[in-house]
Amino acid sequence: MDYNEIVEHYEKCFEKFGDTPQGVDWTKEEQVEYRYQVMLELINFREKSFYITQKKSLLDYGCGLSHLYEYIEKNNIDFIDYTGLEISSKFFNKSKQKFPENKYILGDILKDKNILVDRYDYIVMNGVFTEKRNLSYESMFDYFEQMIISVYQYCNKGIAFNVMSKQVDWEIDTLFHVPLDDMANFLTKKISRNFIIRNDYGLYEYTVYLYK
């Protein structure tokens, strides 16, 4: 299962476009903040409040260029204790350079089960499963399953992740379009029935909140 091809794709985007949304392969800059908002609302849904006062630890798994952290800072969201994790040393080094005060982790949880020593209240995986490049759907789904099962163990309250929708005008072969039935069957049979599917923010994708 050569998911390194996905990592290499993102690194090429970074080399070409630099520290921009295009540098992590978001082609429409005006859409990226919708994703950050939806990712962070994982916390609000669980806490049943939009006025959270106590700090919540959050792991940004696949943090890229730490654009989610920039969104947190820009919007004065003060209840998040942020940690970023990256599989790519190029993104890891750039994030460390930008925000040396933050905690960052470099590694691949499927190759090193010990890279996460802490547990986090919440874990978000924004854009980790939207690309599949030349992997078959079956290979990508297998990778996706392994990742979700592994990462879910390290959250105290819940995780969020997004995939491309099948309810689109057309599909792109290099993207990971997941039928809702496939998603629901995987979650209910292998992890939990305690999940929410967000398909309400106007993009050709959906976000899953998977809670403990």
Tens of pLDDT, residue by residue over 8-67, are 999 999 999 999 999 999 988 889 999 999 999 999 988 877 778 799 999 999 999 999
Distance CA 125, CA 151 (A): 10
* Number of neighbouring beta carbons within 10 Å of residue 107: 16
Nearest partner of 91 among 109, 71, 67, 111, judged by Cα? 67
Segments of the chain scoring below 50 in pLDDT: none
Q: Model pTM?
A: 0.95
SS3 104: strand
DSSP state of 141: H
Closest CA to 168 of 179, 158, 157, 182: 179
HSE at residue 184, side-chain half, CA atoms within 13 A, is: 6
Is residue 106 packed enough to be buried (19+ CB in 10 Å), middle (13-18) or exposed (0-12)? middle
Q: What is the pLDDT at residue 206?
A: 98
Cα distances (angstroms) measured from residue 45 to each of 12, 173, 179, 198: 36, 33, 24, 11
59: helix, coil or strand? strand
